[in-house]
Structure 1
């Protein structure tokens, strides 16, 4: 299941374990392509927290991580950013970035 994050819960959710966060917006065509891929990834990898941040609703989070283009996927392990990818990413690319 994909979890939608806000500034209020972002740090607590990403603090432990492996996590992928998709920075997106509803008006972004490539973001709409990324959504179903993330849904499939989440179903296949329940051990990874799969999350989304709406950049229009949470511009401070986008700025904090230097998100300039969307979709941007940022990878975390135990609260530390371990990678970043701009543009649509396939399930295999996400899995490889997270080492799963």
Structure 2
């Protein structure tokens, strides 16, 4: 999974990518984020048609505010320059819930 390094990179990926992109908003201190991180490689492997990008919530707090992401872990998907879906809440996510979200895209 790629790690977002600049805000400009977010806008390029979300607006110009020809593939689906899912941004995974997380933080090192977040217990629920650490709970789901071990299953992310399997989810990514099962969805090679999607680019996954990890976004450090603390580094990109303004972006989180702009996207109304007030709970982590959260996922926001983009396709063809438009938001295609979101799985955003303060609740712990399970592998099954993430897979269900991806299936709706």
Q: TM-score, normalised by structure 1?
A: 0.84
The residue aligned with 2:53 is: 51
In 1, Cα distance between equivalents of 2:62 and 2:14: 16
Superposed counterparts of 1:1-100, under 5 Å? 2-5=1-4, 6-15=6-15, 16=17, 17-85=19-87, 86=89, 87=91, 88-90=93-95, 91-98=98-105
RMSD over aligned CA atoms reads 1.6
Q: Which protein, 1 or 2, shows the higher relative CO under an 8 Å CA cutoff with sep ≥ 6?
A: 1
Count matched residues. Answer: 97
Deviations 1:40-90, CA, capped at 9 Å, x for gaps: 111122210111110101111111101111111111111211211124142
- Deviation above 4 Å: which 4+ runs of structure 1? none
In 1, Cα distance between equivalents of 2:53 and 2:104: 15
Q: TM-score, normalised by structure 2?
A: 0.81
In 2, Cα distance between equivalents of 1:78 and 1:33: 31
SS of corresponding position for 2:7: coil
